[in-house]
Amino acid sequence: MVASGIALLLVGCSPLSSTAPTARPETDTDLLNRYFAAFNQAADQGSEAQFAFLRTTQHPDFAARLCELDGLTVDIYPAMSSVRPDPDWAPDGASSPRGTVYVVGVSLTVRRDGTLVGEQIGSQRVAILDRRTYGFAPCLNPR
C-alpha cells in the first residue's frame, strides 16, 4: 500500500486516466507562425535553402512566378497582432488566389553572405489552402 501511495505522489497524486487529452486543433495563426519560423530557418541555411523553401511554399496558383534570390537571404519578422484577412487582394495582373489570404505587417532583413544589405517594413500576403500555408513571390524575372 505504501508503494502505491508513493507511485501516486510521483504521477501527480491521481491515478492515470485511460483517456488521452484531446489535441487542440491547429488555428490559422498557428499555421502562419509555423510558416514564418520555417521561412527564417531556411534563411539560416543559406540562399539555396531559402529558395527551395520558397519554391515548395509558393501558392500553387502562382507556382511559375518565383524570384531568384541571387545569393541573398531574407529574414522576416511578422507583427502577428496585425494579421487580418484580405479576401480582395490579388497579385498584379492576376485573379484572386484560392484559399484564405491574410495580410500581415512585417519587418524584413536582407543579407548577402551574412552581411546586412537592407531592411524594410511592409506587408506580406500569405494564404492558407487545404490547411497548408503558402506565400507569394512574384517578380519580373520568373524562374
Mean pLDDT of the residues in the chain: 84
> What is the residue-wise DSSP string for 48-81?
HHHHHHHHHHB-GGGTT-----TTEEEEEEEEEE
pTM of the full structure: 0.79
**Which residue range forms the structural domain that includes residue 48?**
26-135
* Residue 66, domain member (yes or no): yes
Burial group, residue 90, by CB count within 10 angstroms (0-12, 13-18, 19+): middle
Confidence band of 76 (pLDDT split at 50, 70, 90) = very high
* Residue 11, domain member (yes or no): no
CATH of the domain at 73: 3.10.450
* Residue 16, domain member (yes or no): no
